[in-house]
């Protein structure tokens, strides 16, 4: 009987223990992820989950910092002597508006920009015929070492607007030692944009031996950490993953003198402002900073006012987000049950012309998979991408869009 009573008491204790565990307050459950304790606070977050909480803000003493060169622009004779009326006519035709003091004239061709031969050779190899509006006006400013804000729509050529001056800037700095941080840092809101930027950096940096790496979440840290350990001149990163590496001591921004914020408006929309501010604190205050955005809301303006000095602002087109006028948009209003047949008919029309490719946007992940399967059954070489796909699957699809399809 004694043994039986002992087991009964043990069961009662276990029940009470389970009851107390289940009655833990919602606040307690949230503090451990609310899912059986699987999600633990990472080392890169404080008790309120803020990335970068363990990073100390450096006390910068400009008198002790190693000087660096950032003004490389020597105006071409044709640019310097061009009639002001021709310059103003060009800006009006290209919808370029400016804000700031002593902004140099735009360049009309690549030779006028004053790039080194190794850059010009790569530009010609890539088949570019003339600079885009943002490049024509942006390069003289960026090469002058000034802070700048560029407001232009997607597809305006802004990536080359900052990558080519970055290459010139990097090649004029002392060489990196092992485990040195980057000279140029590009922050981007998403891994896909970061990878696109890296491709441009690869294309134009290889001829002068400029190394780069791309830091983003959803991929193993090992290869990224090895790149950082070996030393890279350009880091392209999403804010969260970069903060992880900064806090763990895998890299630093002590050598960074050229900072780019790409799609700044989107980064702020996604809630990255605290991370951006933490990162910028780690960079010497006399750096050159270039901010790029499709729109100019007050949040982006406030960020520019806080971190850019005596900056020049270039606007190409409207300051408000609007439709791209170079794209023909056709709206076909129909019932849900008509959509698949209309899509099939439309695809036949589009694909009747060689080299055409099509992107179909669908509301839900489930429908993305369903429509992709149906298109494959109908003989279309279709692939799909959405948030439930692994990074490896996403990369394969994006690469295939350029190469296989």
Looking at residue 319, what is its pLDDT?
60
| 249/139 Cα distance (integer angstroms) | 34
% of residues, the chain, pLDDT over 90: 59
User: Tens digits of per-residue pLDDT, 38-84?
Assistant: 333 344 444 456 777 788 888 888 888 899 999 999 999 999 999 99
| 319/172 Cα distance (integer angstroms) | 34
Q: How many CB atoms lie within 10 A of CB 231?
A: 18
| 158/262 Cα distance (integer angstroms) | 9
Bridge partners (DSSP) of residue 187 are: 237, 261
Q: Which of helix, strand or coil describes residue 332?
A: coil
- Residues with Cβ within 8 Å of residue 218, at least 6 apart in sequence: 191, 390, 391
Rounded to the nearest angstrom, the gap between the alpha carbon of residue 91 and the centroid of all alpha carbons in its chain is 28
| Token couple for 85 | 């009326």
Q: Which of 40-54, 177-191, 198-212 has the lowest mean pLDDT?
A: 40-54
- Residues with Cβ within 8 Å of residue 53, at least 6 apart in sequence: 44, 45, 46
pLDDT bin (cut points 50, 70, 90) of residue 309 is very high
Rounded to the nearest angstrom, the gap between the alpha carbon of residue 63 and the centroid of all alpha carbons in its chain is 33
**Structural domains in the chain?**
77-316 (3.40.50.300), 336-403 (no CATH)
Q: In what order do the strands lie in the sheet with 184-187?
A: 96-99, 312-316, 148-151, 288-293, 258-261, 184-187, 234-237, 212-215
User: Tens digits of per-residue pLDDT, 317-372?
Assistant: 866 555 556 677 888 899 988 988 999 898 888 888 877 888 999 989 999 999 99
Looking at residue 27, what is its pLDDT?
38
Bridge partners (DSSP) of residue 234 are: 184, 212
């Amino acid at each position: 009987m004694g043994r039986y009573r002992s087991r009964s008491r043990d069961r009662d204790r276990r029940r009470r223990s389970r009851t107390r565990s289940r009655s833990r307050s919602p606040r307690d459950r949230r503090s451990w992820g609310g899912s059986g304790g699987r999600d633990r606070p990472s080392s890169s977050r404080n008790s309120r989950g803020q990335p970068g909480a363990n990073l100390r803000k450096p006390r910068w003493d400009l008198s002790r910092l190693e000087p660096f060169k950032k003004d490389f622009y020597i105006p071409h004779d044709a640019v310097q002597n061009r009639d002001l009326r021709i310059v103003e006519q060009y800006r009006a035709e290209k919808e370029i508006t400016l804000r700031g003091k002593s902004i140099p004239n735009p360049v009309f061709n690549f030779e006028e920009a004053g790039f080194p031969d190794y850059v010009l050779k790569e530009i010609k190899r890539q088949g570019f015929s003339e600079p885009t509006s943002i490049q024509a006006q942006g390069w003289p400013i960026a090469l002058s070492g000034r802070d700048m804000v560029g407001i232009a729509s997607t597809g305006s050529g802004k990536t080359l607007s900052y990558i080519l001056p970055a290459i010139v800037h990097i090649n004029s700095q002392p060489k990196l030692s092992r485990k040195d941080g980057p000279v140029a840092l590009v922050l981007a809101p998403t891994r896909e944009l970061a990878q696109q930027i890296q491709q441009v950096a690869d294309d134009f940096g290889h001829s002068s031996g400029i190394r780069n790496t791309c830091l983003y979440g959803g991929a193993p840290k090992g290869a990224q950490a090895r790149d950082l350990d070996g030393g890279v001149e350009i880091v392209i990163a999403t804010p969260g993953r970069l903060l992880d590496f900064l806090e763990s001591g895998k890299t630093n921004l002590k050598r960074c003198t050229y900072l780019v914020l790409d799609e700044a408006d989107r980064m702020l929309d996604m809630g990255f402002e605290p991370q951006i501010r933490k990162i910028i604190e780690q960079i010497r205050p006399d750096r050159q900073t270039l901010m790029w955005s499709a729109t100019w809301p007050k949040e982006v303006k406030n960020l520019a006012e806080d971190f850019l000095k005596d900056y020049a602002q270039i606007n190409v087109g409207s300051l408000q987000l609007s439709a791209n006028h170079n794209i023909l948009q056709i709206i076909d209003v129909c019932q849900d049950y008509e959509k698949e047949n209309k899509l099939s008919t439309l695809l036949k029309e589009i694909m009747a012309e060689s080299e055409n490719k099509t992107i179909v946007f669908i509301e839900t992940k489930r429908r993305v998979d369903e429509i992709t399967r149906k298109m494959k059954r109908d003989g279309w070489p279709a692939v799909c991408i959405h948030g439930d796909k692994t990074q490896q699957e996403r990369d394969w699809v994006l690469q295939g869009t350029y190469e296989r399809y």
